[in-house]
Amino acid sequence: MKMKTLVLAIFLVMPYQLVSADVQGDLAAGLPMATIVQNALDAGQEIEDITSTIASLSPGRAAEAVSEGIARFPDSAAGIVTAATAAAPLQQVIIVNAAITAGADPIVVTNASAAGATGATGAGATGATGATGATGAGATQTPGQQIAQQPGPPPPRPPSRPIPPPVNPSQGGDAGSPI
**Residue 149's beta-bridge partner residues?**
139
What is the percentage of the chain residues whose pLDDT exceeds 90?
A: 47
Q: Angle at Cα 122 formed by Cα 29 and Cα 59, nearest 5°?
A: 30
- Domain residue ranges in the chain: 6-124
Q: For residue 40, with 0-12 CB atoms within 10 Å meaning exposed, 13-18 middle and 19 or more buried, which class applies?
A: buried
pTM of this prediction? Answer: 0.56
Better-predicted residue by pLDDT, 7 or 103: 103
Q: What is the pLDDT of residue 141?
A: 42
pLDDT in tens, 98-151: 999 999 999 988 888 877 666 544 433 333 333 333 333 333 444 444 444 556
Whether the per-residue pLDDT at 28 is higher than 50: the answer is: yes
d(CA 113, CA 143): 15
DSSP 160: S
Length in residues, the chain: 179
Q: What is the pLDDT of residue 2?
A: 60
